[in-house]
Amino acid sequence: MNKISNMAELQAEIARLQNTKVEQEAYLQFQFDLLKEKVNKPIHFFQQLFSFLPGAQLFNKIGIKNGQFHEDWLTKSLKVGLPFLVNRVFFKRAGYVKRIVMGLLSTQAAGLLNKERLTGIIDKVTHWVKRESKKGTSRRARRNAKADYNFGIPPDSETF
């Protein structure tokens, strides 16, 4: 680093540093674009692989309402965890082709689930279970209900 002795050298150093900043930003942007392209290559490969199917675009739009489908944390975690779980637990000894197909299908199935749909399903199941438990009250529950019924002390009794 050279010592700056006058205003012209200071302005020249500022211009040099700004030029270096622009060059480094351009280099980092180029490296980021290369990394993004490398990450997206497998996705593009599978899109190209299934592009010849007539309904391939249909599978990408399942679960979309009015052209918008917002993924939440549950959907994203299921898209990652469900193929892993299916391949490790259910298809341990399956071949690579079966594992790839099941991974793709489970990813599509996970894309259909989001937090609102899952809570709706759970609410329906709990409503059904509560309704069934109200219908079938046991004899013991009815007996306990009668025992808990307390008339209290009659107002005209001689308790004083």
Measured CA to CA, the distance from residue 75 to residue 112 in angstroms comes to 8
Q: What is the pLDDT of residues 32-54, one digit of tens each?
A: 999 988 888 877 777 776 666 55
Give φ, ψ of 158 to 5 degrees: -95, 75
What is the mean pLDDT of each successive set of 10 residues along the chain, which is 160 residues long? 86 95 95 88 73 54 49 76 82 82 82 79 87 65 61 66
Task: Please compute, for residue 74, the number of CA atoms within 13 A of its CA located in the half-sphere on the CB side.
Answer: 10
Helix, strand or coil, per DSSP, at residue 65: strand
Question: For residues 104, 57, 75 and 41, what is the CA-based torsion angle, rounded to 10 degrees?
Answer: 60
pLDDT value for 62: 45
Whole-model pTM? 0.34
